[in-house]
Amino acid sequence: MFDFDIPFFLPLWRRIAVVVVTLGWTMVEISTGAIVWAMIFGAAGIYCVYALLFHFDEEKARSRIEKDKR
């Protein structure tokens, strides 16, 4: 769906920050009673957990750095 294997996400803290912000905003939406927005951000947060924490390919991101240097 989206290509998260980019050099920006090489540091682990950036990947964790995206997940925390996305799922944190889900909690904000739940607390204000906006259930539809909570489901949208919750789905995006779950996808970010999968794509950035479990499926992230560091070698692919590093190879993009080398390709950009050429």
Q: What confidence score (pLDDT) does residue 18 get? A: 97
Q: Where are the domains of the chain?
A: 12-69
Q: How many CB atoms lie within 10 A of CB 1?
A: 5
pTM of the model: 0.86
Length of the chain: 70
Flag whether pLDDT at 69 surpasses 80: no
Distance between CA 70 and CA 66 in Å, rounded?
Answer: 7
As a whole number, the mean pLDDT across the chain is 93
Task: Give the number of other Cβ atoms within 10 Å of residue 56's Cβ.
Answer: 17
Q: Using one digit for the tens of pLDDT, what is the confidence trace for 25-53?
A: 999 999 999 999 999 999 999 999 999 99
Residue-wise burial string across 21-40, b where 16 or more C-beta atoms lie within 10 A, e elsewhere: ebbebbeebeeeeeeeebee
